[in-house]
Structure 1
Amino acid sequence: MNSVKWTMFNLHFWCMSLDWSVTILTVPFLLFPALAGYPLGILSDFGVPTDIQVYLIVTLIITVSASIVTIFENRYFQMFARDRQWRHFRKPILTLNYIFAFTFFIPALLTVPDQGPALEHVFKVSNANVLC
């Protein structure tokens, strides 16, 4: 169990962080006619912008996925690839997985348009569907 202890701790840490961020920090309220939402959590009370909260959630979801890949890679390495060429490539590839997890959403975050008119439209559509 010593060989998998830190990778399991890594997975537990990221899963727990994702759980806390969804249930306490952001608490997303979804608006279903459009694929939209609004944060109602503690971070909104402290004035953290919505786009930063979305970045947090998306990044944590991908980080949990990267830690699951890390556990599978660790098991593969321990059982089959300990004396193979894979031992030279595994740490750089795992590092790239986590770098990718923290940076892949940044281009989408930087190109988000103004949300004011879009939010008004979603609320109008939501109210129209509720009244029908």
Structure 2
Amino acid sequence: MKSVKWTMLNLHVCSSIVDFSLSVIVQPYYLGSTWAWLPLGIGVPLGIPYTVLISVTGTAFLITGVAVIALFENQFYLLFAENTWWRYGRILFLGVNYLVSILYIADVLMAIPDQAIARAYIFRVHPEFRLFDSPENPIQVAVAHDDSSMGTRQMLMTMMILCEGLGFPIILSFKMNNIGRTSNLTQNTVKLKKRQTFFN
């Protein structure tokens, strides 16, 4: 039970940080189909640097995805893999996921372009964005217009989290259905286990 509590607490803390940072501190207003955005949260009057806003929010967002994966992985481990090689493999699996999430944001921060050049390009292509720009709260450009690899990196990261996040529930569902057919457990016990693993 303690193991389940820690994974649920981890998910709760991560999702709370994402919620608070997106809705209160940052409040990003994304401009069209560009990588430009306008922060509208309290982070601007507080003078929090934009790189800090991006790094904290982005890292928390990705780690929340990994926390969801960890929640389902923990259910899989406790029910089906506690006495297998996965007991040790899961440490590497989760460690790599958390590390990749942090390194991805570090890569994003290093790719932030010179704002003067990037803003000049954005305003040339989208002159209507000047209406949102002000010296007190200038539009921020997260990725240079000629950095075509950022979209690819973002897609790969999203696919990794989605595949893992969907993989464990599918495996759990398959194994829970097999339990009902192959074990001596009563149907009530199987139903209870399914509820515990989020499958009614």
Fold match (TM-score > 0.5): yes
With CA pairs under 8 Å and 6+ residues apart, which has the higher RCO, 1 or 2? 1
2:36 is the counterpart of 1:36: yes
Measured after TM superposition, the shift of residue 123 of structure 1 is: 4.3
Q: Indicate the residue corresponding to 2:55 in structure 1.
A: 55
* Structure 1, 47-56 or 116-125: larger mean CA deviation: 116-125
Mapped to 1, the partners of 2:4 and 2:122 lie a distance apart of: 47
Query: Any gaps of 5 or more consecutive residues in structure 2?
Result: 132-200
Question: What's the Cα RMSD here?
Answer: 2.1
Partner of 1:88: 88
CA pair 109-3 structure 1, distance change in 2 beyond 3 A = closer
Q: Which has the larger radius of gyration?
A: 2
**Which amino acid letter does the alignment assign opposite residue 107 of structure 1?**
D
Q: What's the counterpart of residue 99 of structure 2?
A: 99
Quick check: 1:33–1:122 contact (8 Å CA) kept in 2? no
Q: Deviations over 1:73-117 (max 9, x none)?
A: 101101110111111221232223222222222123113221123
TM-superposed CA distance for 1:121, in Å, is 4.2
In structure 2, relative to structure 1, the CA distance for the partners of 1:65 and 1:2 (3 Å cut) is same
- In the alignment, the residues of structure 2 paired with residue 127 and residue 89 of structure 1 have an alpha-carbon distance, to the nearest angstrom, of 52
Partners of 1:52 and 1:30 in 2: CA distance: 18
TM-score of the superposed pair, with normalisation by structure 1: 0.84
> Tell me, what secondary structure is at the counterpart of 2:113?
coil
* Residue 79 of structure 1: aligned partner: 79
Instruction: Compute the displacement of 1:12 (Å).
Output: 0.7
In the TM superposition, residue 62 of structure 1 has moved relative to its aligned partner by 0.7
Count of aligned pairs:
129
Q: Is the 8 A contact 1:31 1:126 kept in 2?
A: no
CA distance in 1, matches of 2:92, 2:117: 44
Gapped regions of structure 1 (runs ≥ 5): none
Between the two proteins, what is the percent identity of the paired residues? 30
Partner of 1:111: 111
